[in-house]
Copies of this chain bind each other. A is one copy, B any other.
């Protein structure tokens, strides 16, 4: 179903809570237009790898994001097949772009090293 509407208040609250963390919200905004791998998130947020993995797991458990393995790397992107995709997109509309963070990575030559 292509709709922004969420059937239950509980589910809506659950998704909002997931997005109510600045690291997760920024990650989700980032992969709105970009596929990113875990090591990039680690560099961008100056966070430990397990910390990033745990955030991604929550987003994955809620089926908001999907993963794609490519060799050693696992790339994450927004799950366009999610029944909550439109809802998430609607929220992301109001959230400032995080693409600058990726550009910073590229400047440091850290993007290429990681992605194919």
Contacts and interface: CB of A to CB of B under 8 A. Distances in A.
A19 B12 CA distance: 9
Contacts of A8: 96
Interface residues of A, number: 30
Contacts of A98: 9
A87 B96 CA distance: 12
Contacts of A16: 16-17, 19-20, 25, 91
Interface of A: 4-10, 12-22, 24-26, 29, 87, 90-91, 93-96, 98
Given A5-B94, A8-B96, 5 more contacts: A5-B93, A5-B96, A9-B22, A9-B95, A12-B96
